Structure formats: C-alpha cells, structure tokens
Amino acid sequence: MATQTHLYQGEYARALKAEGKAEGKAEGKAEGEAEAVLLLLDHRHVALSEDDRARIMSTTDLDVLRKWVLRAPNVESVEELFV
C-alpha cells in the first residue's frame, strides 16, 4: 500500500511546523553556546562540578549563555562565571 502525500496544509499546520522548527533552532543554538562555555572553561583549567556542568548545559537563555561565553576566557573560577 502506497502512502499518500497531501499537498495541502492548513495555515495552522504550517504555523505549528514553523514553530517547531524555530524551537529546534533555538535549542541547537543554546546547546552550542553551552558547549562553547564548557570548552573555554576546560581550556582555562577551571574546575567544574557535575552540578556546574549541568547548570551550563541546561541553560536555554541565549543572552545568559552569550554573557558566559564572553566572560569564560577571563575567569579563574566557575563562581566568577555565574556572577
């Protein structure tokens, strides 16, 4: 049995698809920024606990993550990062 593809999509379905795509992009950007923070801290030999790593990786606010990316190259401790 062949599957059918419907060419018509309602405006609501298109909006949901676009919303999901935007959310996925935002999540991907946040994950990339969080990984950059961890990489920079690792490069600086800043000690991190598992809780610190979890906090960084679970942060989805891009403004916060970008502040951390800019701050990470200059901190001596994770406490300085989270100020």
Helix, strand, coil percentages (3-state) for the chain, rounded to 5, are 70, 0, 30
Is the pLDDT at 75 greater than 80, yes or no? yes
What would the pLDDT profile of 47-63 be if each residue is shown by its tens digit? 999 999 999 999 999 99
| Alpha carbons 30 and 6: distance in angstroms, whole number | 34
pLDDT band at 7 (very low <50, low <70, confident <90, very high): low
pTM of the full structure: 0.73
Joined tokens for residue 33: 């920024």
What would the pLDDT profile of 17-47 be if each residue is shown by its tens digit? 777 776 777 677 899 999 999 999 999 999 9
How distant, in Å, are the alpha carbons of 5, 7, 23, 44, 45 from that of 41? 49, 49, 27, 5, 6
Domain ranges of the chain: 27-82
